[in-house]
Each structure stands twice: as structure tokens, then as C-alpha cells.
Amino acid sequence: MAAPRPARNPINLVVRVLIVALTLATAYIHSTLGGLLFTLNAAGYVVAALAMVVPLGLAIRFRWLVRLGLIGYAATAIIAWYLTGPRYDVAYAAKAIEVALIALLAIDLARNDGNPIPILRAALGALARSINRQRRTPGRSG
Amino acid sequence: MLAPVLGPVLALGVALAASACGPASLGRSAPPSSIDPTAPVVTARDLAFDRSEIAAPADRAFSIVFQNADGVPHNIAIYADSSLARSLFVGEIFIGPATRAYDLPPLASGSYFFRCDVHPDMQGRLLIAGAG
């Protein structure tokens, strides 16, 4: 897994600022729509925005996962809207923001973590090894 | 790292959100078109329609007065049935408090499905009966 690198590079900083701004913008739009689903969606975006900048060791170490998670979250929101969502100006603006967000997250991921496939493969391998170790632990009933 | 990021982030986020939800999308500026006094009135309040059925005459154009009393966007969209396979009318989505008169095309006698496209749980039946 790639070692965490602080975003001190000016380009990294700009990209990070844009990511958080776009995430908060789409969170704000969803928060104005009313209803539990939109409110939860907005809350998810706010949490993701915080996770992108919070200077905690755990968050920094797993920033790659936050990036991938936010890409998946935004992509899911776009697909769900495409399948069932209303077509009007605010929705189009929110989806445009989410598309830009995904593009910036991909750039941020590539600049900080490299190719995400080996990262995911390594993470899944570590998870599988951990599960196997637990299965082999003596004293467990089969 | 947090401090230099937060200031610009908040400013940009607010600007983006404000531009996305500008006056054009608020729908408060456009007054209702000429409202038929006999047109059925439907109100959306607290994420619910105040009535589950609307009645209108068959085979002639008619209006529905839609009052959005919520501070969130709503509309009325009419479909042949709840499968949503055939859309018959999609009313403008607008944020309340505001009122719109929707002018609908003639519909044949029968029962139709209506809902708010933004909040699909808000729904009801449009009953079209013999003219008069």
C-alpha cells in the first residue's frame, strides 16, 4: 500500500480544496431537497468531506479508501438519479458537480496513491489473510 | 494542513451551492398563470399531498392548482399507472411557498397515477370522469 503523503504540493492542495468544496456543494444541494433519503445522502457527503481533510493518523493512512469510497458514493448517486430521479435544473447541477468530483478524486488518487487496482488487491489480500488467521485460531468450534 | 484548506473550501462550497440553487431554480418569481376558479387545488405540506384523489372532466383540457407550502421542491407528474411506464404530464418542479397552475391536456376517462417526482412517496390518483 502506498505510504501516506501529505498534500503539501500546491497542486495537490488545490485538488483537495476543490474536492472538499464540490463535496460540500452537493451535500448542501441534497440537504435542501427534504426527505430522509436526501438528508442521509447530504450527511454522507459531509462525513466524506471531513474524512478528506481531517488530520488524524487513521484518516491519513486510509485516505485512499476515502477517495475510492467517495468515487463509489458519487457514482451511485448519479446512477440512482439516472434510473429514478427527477429531471430539472438543480438535479442537473448536482450531477454535474458529482461528475467533476469523481474526475478530481481520480486525479487525486492517481497523484497520491497511483493505480488503485494494486491498492485494492493488496487490501483485499490483507483482509483475506486476516480472515484465514481467525479461522485457524485454536479453540474455535467448527 | 486543515487550516489553509478550510477557508477556501467553505467559500467555494457556498458559492457553488448558491449558484446551483439560484433564483431561476427557486421558482418564486413567476406568478401563476390565469387560474381557473373551478380547478382542483392540491397542496403539498410536510412532504405529503393534502389529498390522495383529484377529479377532473374527461376529453377536455383542464387545470390543477398546485400549492407548494414546503420549503423544498415539489411537483405533480401524471402517469398512466404506478409502473410509470407512460408519462402523461410533468409539472414544473418548484420550491415553496409558491403556487402554480398546471394546464393539462385532455385525458380519456379512467384512473391515473400522480406523484411528486422529487419525493416519489408523495402520490395519489387522478380520476377522469365523463365531461361536465
State residue A135's pLDDT score: 79
Contact, B98 vs B69, CB < 8 A?
no
Q: Which residues of A touch B73 (CB under 8 A)?
A: 33-34, 88, 90
Contact A55 B2 (CB under 8 A): yes
Question: Which of A30, A32, A83, A98 is the best mutation test for B, with the most CBs of B within 10 A?
Answer: A32
What sign has the CA pseudo-torsion B5, B8, B14, B16? negative
Q: B49 vs B1, which has greater pLDDT? A: B49
What ipTM does this complex have? 0.72
Match 460540500 to its residue by C-alpha cell. Answer: A24
Contact B9 A89 (CB under 8 A): no
Q: Which residues contact A106 (CB under 8 A, 6 or more apart)?
A: A71
Rounded to the nearest angstrom, the minimum Cα separation between A96 and chain B is 10
Per-chain mean pLDDT for chain B? 81
Is residue B19 scored above 80 in pLDDT?
A: no
In order along its 142 residues, chain A shows pLDDT tens digits of: 444 455 568 898 999 999 999 999 999 999 999 999 999 999 999 999 999 999 998 888 889 999 999 999 999 999 999 998 999 999 999 999 999 999 999 999 999 888 777 877 887 888 888 888 887 776 554 4
Is residue B111 scored above 60 in pLDDT?
A: yes
Contact, A19 vs A108, CB < 8 A?
yes
Nearest CA in chain B to A6: B1
State whether residue B122 is helix, strand or coil.
coil
Q: Which residues of A touch B25 (CB under 8 A)?
A: 88-90, 93
- The answer, for B47 touching chain A at a CB cutoff of 8 Å, is yes
State residue A132's pLDDT score: 87
Q: With pLDDT > 70 as the criterion, what percentage of chain B qualifies? A: 72
* Pick from A22, A34, A90: CB nearest B25: A90
State residue A41's pLDDT score: 96
Contact, A22 vs A101, CB < 8 A?
yes
Grid coordinates belonging to B59: 376529453
Radius of gyration of the CA atoms of chain B, in A: 18
Q: How many CB atoms lie within 10 A of CB A22?
A: 28
pLDDT band at B33 (very low <50, low <70, confident <90, very high): low
Q: Which residues of A touch B16 (CB under 8 A)?
A: 21-22, 25, 97
